[in-house]
Structure 1
Amino acid sequence: MTRTIEALAASTDLKPARRRVHRAWLVAAVTFVTIIGAAAFRSVPGLLIDPLHEEYGWSHGTIGAAVSVNLALYGLTAPFAAALMDRFGIRRVVAVALTVIAAGSGLTVFMTSAWQLLLCWGLLVGAGSGAMALAFAATVTDRWFTERRGLVSGILTAASASGQLIFLPLLSWLVTRYDWRPAALTVALAALVVVPFVWLLLRDHPADVGLKPYGAREFVPKPAPVTGAARRAVSVLLSAARTGPFWLLAGTFAICGASTNGLVQTHFVPAAHDHGMPVTAAASLLAVIGVFDVAGTIASGWFTDRFDSRRLLAVYYALRGLSLLFLPMLLAPSVHLPMVFFIVFYGLDWVATVPPTLALCREQYGDDSAIVFGWVLAAHQVGAALIAFLGGVARDVFGTYDMVWYASGALCAAAALMALVIRRRPEAGARATGGG
């Protein structure tokens, strides 16, 4: 009898403990919600071009200039924000950035001059959002995960892009039913609501809660704070700029920004309105892009863990350019089936380029990959800023956006070729680029 009891006890001890969900997934979930809240304001530019033009008489070029400042700062702030996170921690930097975004968006309701639009919408919101850019997602992914990095980066990228679009139906309804000011205040509130979640749930490093990164075999101690954030960001840029892959990645990502944030997100609604489509209908189409972007970007992250990132980029850019060449023929007063097909197709490819681009940065630049990706993202936003401004100027000069659609399609074809030229590091050839 005693031996039987001992045997039962031994068998009980051998049963594996119930597996708990790793804390990294909670951090990723909080990051997802945070990026969505911060990205809400990015729904506003395309909706406010016509209302601001009608209320203040500002030209499309003037309003496009404010959008350009916003987009450029969004990118140029990102690498410094990644370095600041190494110095002060993710939680502090993100909480401050969200507060700045809310302040900039809220203050726009009091503006009366174009320079105030540049200050609030361009400077404050642009700088604040730069700290919430994809470099934030890259930092979280690199610190908390050694496995499933491609998948996680795809999910967080989807949050950034979809957060810019899923608010469009609500905001367009507010603009149409009331005024543009309630829409701006709604965006400010969305950013503020996320701050408590960041402060209470987000942690800077797995070591803060005594855990290993997800998928790691050994415990990784928390690194000491890195001083000289600005100096480090610049030194990493100077080092990366001496390599060919950096310029190819920056060039392709600049075209990515030009063909998404700068063009479609900023000018699709006014372009569709030029053809007689109601603002709410055009905004709803952009929101559908955000829905399908989630599926496309997560799938891209899964592909990045398994396939050559360079070839993935070439396919993504080629398909995007092809779709943009057909868009001028699809714009009409009402929504029809070919337009719906374009929206679904374009949505799947909206920011599918991010996971393979991030994987290539990680492959090429190792521990500095988050900061390098921040600079590559800066190129993305510079491209977006140029098209946001030039698109408005083209509309003022030609009375149509057709020329801009065709030019962007050609640029995407060039980006597809550039992606194939990137050389892989020899040690990366035998492993998936998105792995640990």
Structure 2
Amino acid sequence: MTPMPETSLATTNDESTIHYPGWSVATAAFAGVMTSFSPIVPYTFSLFLNPLHTAFGWKREALDGTFAIAAITVALVSPFIGMLLDRFPPRRIILPCILVFALALASLSRLSGSISQFYFTFFMLGLVANGTAQFAYTRTILTWFQKRRGFALALILTGSGVGSILIPPATQWTIAHHGWRSAYLLLGGIALLGLPLTALLVRNRPAAVLPQDEPAVSGVSVKGAFASTAFWVLCGITVLSAFSENGLVTNLAAILTDHGVTPQSAALALSVRGGAGILGRLGVGFLIDRFSPQRIQTMILVLAAVGTLILAFAGSPAVSLLGATLLGVGLGSEADVLPYLLAHYVGRKNFSVLYGLTWTAYAIGGATGPMFVGHMYDATGAYHSSSIALLASIAFAAAGVSLMLPRRKSVAKSAATEFKQGVEVLPS
């Protein structure tokens, strides 16, 4: 085999240049995440609550239980999806999941009066959710980046923010002008938009771009991760923040309209939350490559908690937009810091399996939060500020738990060492 010229090799390994092939992979991942489960299901779920209640008379707790089914399913299957991503080319996992996800969304346009059909469809959405979202793309991005790892992770997660800006207003407009059945068909079509770039560009970094004598990839075993404080602290943070975030976001449009905000302003708040998440993610992606990611995480969790508290008492468009902005900057960025910290503490050897287990923790919180809010609504007939303020207190607790993370002075040095120990020979 003819050796790669030094200039070509330098370009291939230089993450600072736009010609670095990892950026095209990140761009494709951005498009995939923008139309994935993450921006579509949580950010549009609350827009269908009133139409479905009107059409079929289903209670709020029963409807929120549907989201819980998806979240619990995500909890159960994420480690398995992670195991597949550690062993097979990413496109073999992602592409079938996108197709199933799109068909399941479109099938909701055919709902009848039986809520069991609604439950089964959300079960299917949960099965493939993380095969379409940032979870599936993160493993590949880690193989391509070290010096710009934080920013690259932020970039792909920004796709979720862009999707959450564009998709809720389009969904609300379709519901208002063409009905909720047409809106579900629209979402099914949107879910297919990330498929072409994923098929063409998403692949793991080939080992051939590095010298052949480099050792195997580093990382702790799953058993070793279970014995570490850092892993369980990250899971604790995830459960608490997911309970607060999903309990609020899945009911946000209904909460705001119950407090006197118009449906259009409520949909705008969902979009603003996504837009603020974009700015927060890019800013945090820049910062965690340079400063302590542990303390950055504490800061953004506090911002999310303050945003939740403001939304608990929001009764006007201006206040709701302020709360949505802080919530977006906070919890939108928290999703960036978690995989960065996890890779820092456990390495890449079993990253996807361990990342899947943190998504199990996320799904536990994500399932119980909406059910709690739905139960409180059915019990009292309204979304009382005191109930939503409880979500804020749980978000503050997540910030407190984050202070327990071990802080290392040599985060960048540790990441660089791990990266230089070799890009594993993975199928592309």
Q: How high is the TM-score relative to the length of structure 1?
A: 0.84
Assess if the C-alpha contact under 8 Å between 1:102 and 1:189 holds in 2.
yes
Aligned AA for 2:343?
Answer: R
* Equivalent in the alignment of 2:423: none
* Equivalent in the alignment of 1:331: 315
* Equivalent in the alignment of 2:197: 197
Once the two structures are TM-superposed, the CA of residue 26 in structure 1 deviates from its matched residue by 0.4
Aligned AA for 1:409?
Answer: A
Once the two structures are TM-superposed, the CA of residue 50 in structure 1 deviates from its matched residue by 0.9
CA distance change for structure 1 residues 400 and 380 in 2, over 3 Å: closer, same or farther?
same
* Equivalent in the alignment of 1:33: 31
Distance 1:170 1:369 in 2: 36
* Equivalent in the alignment of 1:369: 351
* Equivalent in the alignment of 1:272: 256
Say if 2:398 is the partner of 1:400.
Answer: no
Assess if the C-alpha contact under 8 Å between 2:86 and 2:353 holds in 1.
no
Say if 2:240 is the partner of 1:255.
Answer: yes
1:431 aligned counterpart, secondary structure: helix
* Equivalent in the alignment of 2:66: 66
Q: After the TM superposition, which residues 203-242 of structure 1 pair with which residues of structure 2 at under 5 Å, given as runs?
A: 203-207=203-207, 211=209, 218=211, 238-242=223-227
Assess if the C-alpha contact under 8 Å between 2:247 and 2:371 holds in 1.
no
Say if 2:400 is the partner of 1:417.
Answer: yes
CA distance change for structure 1 residues 124 and 301 in 2, over 3 Å: closer, same or farther?
same
Distance 1:135 1:247 in 2: 19
Once the two structures are TM-superposed, the CA of residue 17 in structure 1 deviates from its matched residue by 9.2
Say if 2:353 is the partner of 1:355.
Answer: no
- Unpaired runs of 5+ residues, structure 1, are 1-12, 213-217, 225-234
* Equivalent in the alignment of 1:8: none
Q: What do residues 210-232 of structure 1 show as CA deviations (whole Å, max 9, x unaligned)?
A: 545xxxxx4699999xxxxxxxx
Once the two structures are TM-superposed, the CA of residue 318 in structure 1 deviates from its matched residue by 1.9
* Equivalent in the alignment of 1:290: 274
Once the two structures are TM-superposed, the CA of residue 41 in structure 1 deviates from its matched residue by 2.8
Distance 2:143 2:411 in 1: 23
Distance 1:276 1:170 in 2: 22
CA distance change for structure 1 residues 285 and 433 in 2, over 3 Å: closer, same or farther?
farther
Greater CA radius of gyration, 1 or 2?
Answer: 1
Once the two structures are TM-superposed, the CA of residue 71 in structure 1 deviates from its matched residue by 2.2
Q: Please identify, of 296-305 and 192-201, the stretch whose mean Cα deviation from structure 2 is larger.
A: 192-201
CA distance change for structure 1 residues 188 and 242 in 2, over 3 Å: closer, same or farther?
same
Q: After the TM superposition, which residues 134-213 of structure 1 pair with which residues of structure 2 at under 5 Å, given as runs?
A: 134-207=134-207, 211=209
2:291 aligned counterpart, secondary structure: coil
Once the two structures are TM-superposed, the CA of residue 385 in structure 1 deviates from its matched residue by 1.2
Once the two structures are TM-superposed, the CA of residue 191 in structure 1 deviates from its matched residue by 1.7
Once the two structures are TM-superposed, the CA of residue 34 in structure 1 deviates from its matched residue by 0.7
Q: How high is the TM-score relative to the length of structure 2?
A: 0.85
Aligned AA for 2:290?
Answer: R
Q: What do residues 377-413 of structure 1 show as CA deviations (whole Å, max 9, x unaligned)?
A: 2211221111111111111112232233211111122
* Equivalent in the alignment of 1:83: 83
* Equivalent in the alignment of 2:426: none
Once the two structures are TM-superposed, the CA of residue 117 in structure 1 deviates from its matched residue by 0.4
Assess if the C-alpha contact under 8 Å between 1:69 and 1:126 holds in 2.
yes
Number of residue pairs matched?
A: 398
Assess if the C-alpha contact under 8 Å between 2:256 and 2:314 holds in 1.
no
1:408 aligned counterpart, secondary structure: helix
Once the two structures are TM-superposed, the CA of residue 178 in structure 1 deviates from its matched residue by 1.7
Assess if the C-alpha contact under 8 Å between 2:304 and 2:395 holds in 1.
yes
Once the two structures are TM-superposed, the CA of residue 237 in structure 1 deviates from its matched residue by 5.2
Aligned AA for 1:119?
Answer: F
* Equivalent in the alignment of 1:231: none
Q: Which runs of 4+ in 1 moved over 6 A?
A: 16-20, 219-224
Assess if the C-alpha contact under 8 Å between 1:236 and 1:371 holds in 2.
no
Alignment RMSD (CA, Å): 2.7
1:351 aligned counterpart, secondary structure: helix
* Equivalent in the alignment of 1:105: 105
Assess if the C-alpha contact under 8 Å between 1:91 and 1:204 holds in 2.
no
CA distance change for structure 1 residues 17 and 149 in 2, over 3 Å: closer, same or farther?
closer
Q: Percent identity?
A: 22
Assess if the C-alpha contact under 8 Å between 1:305 and 1:434 holds in 2.
no
* Equivalent in the alignment of 1:243: 228
Aligned AA for 1:375?
Answer: L
Once the two structures are TM-superposed, the CA of residue 430 in structure 1 deviates from its matched residue by 5.8
